[in-house]
Amino acid sequence: MNRQIITALAALLLLACGAAATAQGTDYEAIVRTMRQCARIADVPARVACYDQTVGAERLISGEAAPAAPTAAPPPPPEGFGAEALPRRVERDEREQEPDRVEAQVRAAEQLGPGVFLLTLADGAQWQFVDAVPFSYSPPRPGAPVEISRAALGSFQLRYSGQRPVRVKRIR
């Protein structure tokens, strides 16, 4: 009994595979026939249009997706010193042209936590202390000059009024 069931299932499976192969062969043969008809057209633009229609029909039959429409251009990336620390794609050539340090004036200084400050510079860039500074550290005041320079592993250091450098990261 089991042998009969297995034989019947195998026969059904072979019939199903054969039917699918025949259906694919029919579609292929129809496309080849259409392309041969297109090849007989003497006018080049009309022949190309015929080929395009044939390929478009094949795409619909095979279920391929149409090519995606081009997307809109991305917004312009932020500019200025330390902008590469912000999330965006930066080309290597662009990084090599950036300065190693910048001097700027502080427009505003805000304390975010004990020893952690957010500085807004005159150009609008915002830098936050990564490491908390001790209570004895005198934070930059509005109008004070600061120097931000590149440090190891893509980080930045802020120097102010002869005090020890502080690691900072650009926020905006």
Structure confidence at residue 100 as a pLDDT band (50, 70, 90): confident
Closest CA to 83 of 143, 141, 124: 124
Residue range 17-39: average pLDDT? 68
Query: What is the pLDDT at residue 66?
Result: 54
Question: Which residues are CB-neighbours of 156 under 8 A, at least 6 positions away?
Answer: 82, 85, 127, 148, 149, 150, 167, 168, 169, 170
Using the predicted structure, report yes or no on whether residue 28 has a pLDDT greater than 90.
no
| CATH annotation of 83-170 | 2.40.50
Residue range 75-98: average pLDDT? 67
Structure confidence at residue 118 as a pLDDT band (50, 70, 90): very high
What's the chain's average pLDDT?
Answer: 78
Using the predicted structure, report yes or no on whether residue 29 has a pLDDT greater than 90.
no
Higher pLDDT, 87 or 102: 102
Residue range 65-82: average pLDDT? 67
Domain regions of the chain by residue span: 2-62, 83-170
Query: What is the pLDDT at residue 67?
Result: 59
Closest CA to 30 of 61, 52, 74, 2: 61
Q: What share of the chain is helix, strand, coil (3-state, %, to 5)?
A: 40, 20, 40
Query: What is the pLDDT at residue 45?
Result: 86
Query: What is the pLDDT at residue 143?
Result: 93
Helix (H, G, I), strand (E, B) or coil at 63: coil
* CA 170 centroid distance within chain: 21
Residue range 28-51: average pLDDT? 82
Residue the block writes with tokens 């930059």 = 140
Q: 119: how many CB neighbours lie within 10 A of its CB? A: 25
Sign of CA dihedral 34, 37, 39, 45: negative
Q: Quick check: 117 and 129 in contact, CB under 8 A?
A: yes
Using the predicted structure, report yes or no on whether residue 64 has a pLDDT greater than 60.
no
Query: What is the pLDDT at residue 123?
Result: 92
Question: How far is residue 59's CA from residue 73's CA, in Å, rounded to a whole number?
Answer: 28
In the chain, % of residues over pLDDT 70: 64
Phi (first) and psi of residue 15, to 5 degrees: -65, -40
Query: What is the pLDDT at residue 77?
Result: 67
Sign of CA dihedral 85, 88, 89, 95: negative
